[in-house]
Structure 1
Amino acid sequence: MTTAVHTPELVRLELVRPDLSPEALAAVTDEIAAVAPAYDRTGEIPVRGLEAAHRAGLLTATVGTQYGGPGLGLVDTARILVALGEGDASVALLAANNLGTHQAQAAAGYWPEAYYADFLRRSAEGPTLANAVRAEPELGAPARGGLPKTTATRTADGWVLNGHKAYATGGTALAYHVVWAVADEPAGDPARPRVGHVIVPADLPGITWVDTWDHLGLRASNTHDVVYEDVRLPFEAFVEIPRGPDGVYRDPAASAGIGSFGHPAHYVGVARAARSAFTRFALERVPTALGRPIATTERIQTVAGEIDAQIAQAETLLFGALLRAEAGDTGHLPQLSLLKIQIARSAIAAVNTAVAALGNPALTRYQPFERLLRDVLCVRVHPPQEDTALLAAGRRLLGQ
């Protein structure tokens, strides 16, 4: 099915309305999984995986209904990302960032109209990605505090962007960057500058990529450094992040919001992939000393049960939190950061349990387990990190 909308910028926009049936999602998972090992080895942008997600309408599923999109909610978005993560964690990460961008635009409409119209037009034609570009080499993760060195300098006709960013997931596959920056304005307060995001078309002059991504996991995510040098943008490209009522700037990534659960969702998919791989291996492996599949032994059956228990816990926490939010329940919102780290712990435990039980076969590259373990460990880097989430929760609980 397709949806259509008429706007001054888009005469006709057609986006695929995704089929979220278990059978349809499983088919996309299988198609992406078939090519995931090759992209993991080369580190190239996972084009075929992205194309499969695009054809199924999974990269634009959260485009707002006001733009002619499906406008899917949090629960359905998580289902998509679990399925993509089960196929290829790198594809799922790129999709999670993209779906989050569309979700934020549907809620707040902060993009310049012409930019978002172009983004949608290209998204209807093929895989088209956007992502927030925030971390910096010196500062590290924004959730740890501090302000970016990247600046948007106000001019007579707009802004000039300068800075060096790290861990810009998507690399040259991005069509738009959402760049975290400080506003440098003649009339501004140097002690309390405005902080926000700058919407940047990826093909503007002055953007240079630095190939720095040589990582343990998510090899195909293309999370390289990027340098902005005198990149010129219109006034409306800068979107301010409001300070708190006390006038203090607090980065949005410092605590989990309900819209940020796309990242843990795709790692639940990685754990599911490990469960499926473990099941296949256990049914096919017949040691000569045993004379029957290892799946018939109580030891392997117990391990399978432990893997399933960890995934059940992760899925219950993930979808329970989202369903409560969609129902209007806010009682668990102060615990969202804790829920994210518990989901992460369970996903890691599921994959690690499979690897530990199988020994050498699980650590060889002709099996998927070592790739899945490398990928699932990356869940820890998404903000807020475990130590900051636990500290904040403890202070809240103890009134400190």
Structure 2
Amino acid sequence: MNFDLSEEQLLIQTTAREFAKKELAANAEALDQGKGRETFLANLSSLAELGFMGLNVDPNYGGTGAGTVAFSLAITELARACASTAVTVSVTNMVAEVIQSVASEEQKQTYLPKICGGEYPAAGFCLTEPGAGSDPSSMRTSAVKDGDEWVLNGSKAYITSGEYAGVFVVWAVTDKEAKRGKGISCFLVERETPGLEVGPAEEKMGQKGSATNPVYFDNCRIPASALMGELNRGYQVALGELAGGRIGVGSLALGIGLAAMDYAKDYAKEREQFGQPIANFQALQWMLADRYTELEAARLLIMQAAALKEAGRDFAPQASMGKLYATEAANRACYDGVQILGGHGYNREYPLERFARDVRITSIYEGTSEIQRMIISRGLLAS
């Protein structure tokens, strides 16, 4: 088994790390305070120019074509500096991948270059609804055929980059008589389409630079050509893309956890109590050892899932395992980081309290830890 990265993967990892340190880290605190949005958008544009908005998209459509492993490496490095930027890049890549996977050739040619090239600052994945979160099959947003158009009505909730997205992939019920999850289709809807309204950003605990908005559809008319993939087969598309998205969230959590541990480790070597650095105390040494070990295990789980996906093999169980373990391990790392800093860890003057708030959502979005355990156990019991 070869754990070495290719030259291209190493280049992408290094480029992401350097860009994150130079451009993202300085703006992360400002974003957390509700500032720095212009810099945030400028950074997204720069990341598109560097090829980070279509890492697993064919170069014929403006993507990088570097694969899922490279995508995971990039998201981890970006998240070490700014989780808000990392999640925006991750979801935009996810939207680009679903378009590449199931869209028509005309749709690919129309939208992928705009996403990958940065003409659209981001793209939106409209699946979750106020009453359909962990169970998206219970969605109520509908699409009714009217001549050569579809008419969308309903609402979506917690849509990452809602106010920045140039295009949305939207799931809606197209056959109300079908069995649950069988009559759902997906559509491509442009941001400026009449009848589509993006609501005010949610006031969140963390990742505040990433806009999370409700999206409303009120007799929103879209052309028949906006249907993406097969009619009434959209739910299967959503499930497949969520599995891929879990690699992104696991990678993001890993980056935050590593940032927290690295800061806590350096602090422990400098902070003195009882006449010596607190790094000399076994309690802290074991805390660091346990958390770094868990984060390394998380990295390997995520890399396994990414490598399987890149090879075209079934990767969903490994993606759930990686997402579950990485997000839980990263939460522990951030809270232990706060503990190592003591009172300073609770103070906004230090980044640990931001890391602790930013990491919390990773065990919730793209499928909660409880949902991941259901997916994993279902697979185990079926074998």
TM-score range, shorter chain: 0.7 to 0.9
2:163 aligns with 172
Distance 1:112 1:58, change over 3 A: same
1:86 aligns with 80
Shift of 1:156: 1.4
1:131-142 mapped onto 2 (5 Å cutoff):
131-137=124-130, 139-141=131-133
Shift of 1:387: 2.2
Instruction: Answer yes or no: is 1:262 the counterpart of 2:248.
Output: yes
Instruction: Answer yes or no: is 1:222 the counterpart of 2:216.
Output: no
Separation of aligned partners in 1, 2:105 and 2:237 = 22
1:1-400 mapped onto 2 (5 Å cutoff):
20-30=11-21, 31-42=23-34, 45=37, 46-108=40-102, 110=103, 113=106, 116-118=109-111, 120-121=113-114, 123-124=116-117, 128-137=121-130, 139-141=131-133, 143-183=134-174, 190-192=177-179, 194-239=183-228, 252-253=238-239, 257-258=243-244, 260-287=246-273, 289-290=274-275, 292-327=276-311, 330=314, 333-398=316-381
One-letter amino acid of the structure 2 residue matched with residue 199 of structure 1: L
Separation of aligned partners in 2, 1:214 and 1:339 = 29
Report SS of the residue matched to 2:254. helix
> What's the Cα RMSD here?
3.0
Contact 1:36 1:49 in 2 (8 A): no
Contact 1:313 1:346 in 2 (8 A): no
Deviations 1:242-265 (CA, angstroms, capped at 9, x unpaired): 778xxx966844996346411211
Separation of aligned partners in 1, 2:50 and 2:80 = 16
Separation of aligned partners in 2, 1:226 and 1:112 = 27
One-letter amino acid of the structure 1 residue matched with residue 18 of structure 2: A
Report SS of the residue matched to 1:172. coil
User: Alignment length, in residue pairs?
Assistant: 371
One-letter amino acid of the structure 2 residue matched with residue 20 of structure 1: L
Report SS of the residue matched to 1:24. helix
Contact 1:284 1:293 in 2 (8 A): yes
Distance 1:170 1:122, change over 3 A: closer
One-letter amino acid of the structure 1 residue matched with residue 253 of structure 2: Y
Report SS of the residue matched to 1:132. strand
Separation of aligned partners in 1, 2:9 and 2:81 = 17
Separation of aligned partners in 1, 2:51 and 2:241 = 30
Alignment TM-score, normalising by the size of structure 1: 0.82
Contact 1:272 1:311 in 2 (8 A): yes
Distance 1:391 1:55, change over 3 A: closer
Distance 1:326 1:240, change over 3 A: closer
One-letter amino acid of the structure 2 residue matched with residue 222 of structure 1: A
Structure with greater helix percent? 2
Separation of aligned partners in 1, 2:120 and 2:226 = 23
Contact 1:28 1:56 in 2 (8 A): no
Please, which moves more after superposition, 390-399 or 163-172?
A: 390-399
Report SS of the residue matched to 1:176. strand
Distance 1:241 1:304, change over 3 A: farther
Shift of 1:273: 1.1
Shift of 1:36: 0.6
Distance 1:208 1:177, change over 3 A: same
1:11 aligns with none
Deviations 1:350-392 (CA, angstroms, capped at 9, x unpaired): 2222112222111111111111111111111123322233234
Shift of 1:119: 5.0
Q: Any gaps of 5 or more consecutive residues in structure 2?
A: 1-7
Please, which moves more after superposition, 61-70 or 168-177?
A: 61-70
Distance 1:256 1:198, change over 3 A: closer
Q: Any gaps of 5 or more consecutive residues in structure 1?
A: 1-16
Distance 1:116 1:43, change over 3 A: farther
Please, which moves more after superposition, 169-178 or 356-365?
A: 356-365
Separation of aligned partners in 2, 1:198 and 1:329 = 27
Deviations 1:302-341 (CA, angstroms, capped at 9, x unpaired): 33222311211111111123224445665x6545423321
Shift of 1:173: 0.7
Contact 2:96 2:112 in 1 (8 A): no
Alignment TM-score, normalising by the size of structure 2: 0.85
Separation of aligned partners in 1, 2:177 and 2:313 = 41
One-letter amino acid of the structure 2 residue matched with residue 295 of structure 1: A
Shift of 1:195: 0.9
Deviations 1:165-214 (CA, angstroms, capped at 9, x unpaired): 1101102111111111112xxxx663457311111110122222222511
Separation of aligned partners in 2, 1:238 and 1:324 = 29
Distance 1:128 1:341, change over 3 A: same
Shift of 1:345: 1.6
Shift of 1:75: 0.5
Matched-pair identity in %: 25
